[in-house]
Structure 1
Amino acid sequence: MLVYKELQAGQRLEPLVKDPVSKVQLVKYAGASGDFNPLHTDDAFAQKIGMQGVIAHGMLVMGFLGEYAMKLAGDSAILTNFKMRFGAVTVPRDSITCSAIVNKLYEDDGQRFVSLDLFAEKGPEQVVGSGQVVLQFQ
């Protein structure tokens, strides 16, 4: 959990390393999200359209970044303005590391805010998602 007065622009925050993505996780996510595109659950289908096998739902990676931002906020802040762009594909056995850099701290109408740049990576130089979130401190 972050403490507003301990943050500064440019600060790198403690990352969150997710367990490797599994095919079972992709099937469960398909059920939870309602996205049953066979690209995410059927290797034979994925290979027919030119992939090496199934790929993870982009929104699963967004969920990883959302989980990370929620852990950073803890009980001291709420998330606002969560945005993400997708990058490289995520495949089973990829381990995703979520990280953040403090972009800026500011006050508006008596409220304290921190803007974070978010990154989800599966290896050096392999960004699978990036975005921003603003935390409003209580």
Structure 2
Amino acid sequence: DGVIAHGMLSMAFLGQFIEQQIAAYPDALLTRFKVRFANMVRPGDVLTCRGLVTGRSREPDGREQVTIECWAENQRGERVTSGEAVVSLPSA
């Protein structure tokens, strides 16, 4: 009942969040990004994006692969969108 925001809006916010986190690495690549829409976002909701590194590995070419669990939550702390991003970082 009523107006809601399209799920792709919260997905875009999460993508922007991940891009901001890796901005210090000019050669970083977002290689995979998937999300799940859990709750509706209504006009006036305030979304906060958060993330947690859940895995690291080394690729054959020496790049580091970092897995990040990410989510957008509303002002009540309810997760509205949850996702996972995989980022490839240049070798140090």
Q: CA deviation at 1:124?
A: 4.2
Higher relative contact order at CA 8 Å, sep ≥6: structure 1 or structure 2?
A: 2
Q: CA deviation at 1:80?
A: 1.1
Partner residue of 1:69? 18
| Largest Rg, 1 or 2 | 1
Which one of 100, 109, 116 corresponds to residue 68 of structure 2?
A: 116
Partner residue of 1:94? 45
Structure 1 length as normaliser, TM-score? 0.60
Aligned residues: 87
Root-mean-square deviation (CA, aligned residues, Å) is 1.1
- The list of structure 1 runs, each at least 4 consecutive aligned residues, that deviate by more than 3 angstroms after superposition, is none
Partner residue of 1:79? 30
Aligned to 2:20, the other structure's residue is in SS state helix
Q: CA deviation at 1:79?
A: 0.6
Gaps of 5+ in 2: none
- In structure 2, C-alpha distance between the alignment counterparts of 1:54 and 1:137, rounded to whole Å: 40
Q: CA deviation at 1:135?
A: 0.9
- In structure 2, C-alpha distance between the alignment counterparts of 1:92 and 1:85, rounded to whole Å: 20
Q: CA deviation at 1:123?
A: 3.3
- In structure 1, C-alpha distance between the alignment counterparts of 2:38 and 2:77, rounded to whole Å: 11
Deviation per CA, 1:41-69: give whole Å up to 9, x if none: xxxxxxxxxx1x21000000100000001
Which one of 43, 59, 80 corresponds to residue 128 of structure 1?
A: 80
Q: CA deviation at 1:101?
A: 0.5
Instruction: Point out the structure with the larger helix share.
Output: 1
Deviation per CA, 1:8-57: give whole Å up to 9, x if none: xxxxxxxxxxxxxxxxxxxxxxxxxxxxxxxxxxxxxxxxxxx1x21000
Q: How does 1:44-55 map to 2 (within 5 A)?
A: 51=1, 53-55=2-4
Gaps of 5+ in 1: 1-50
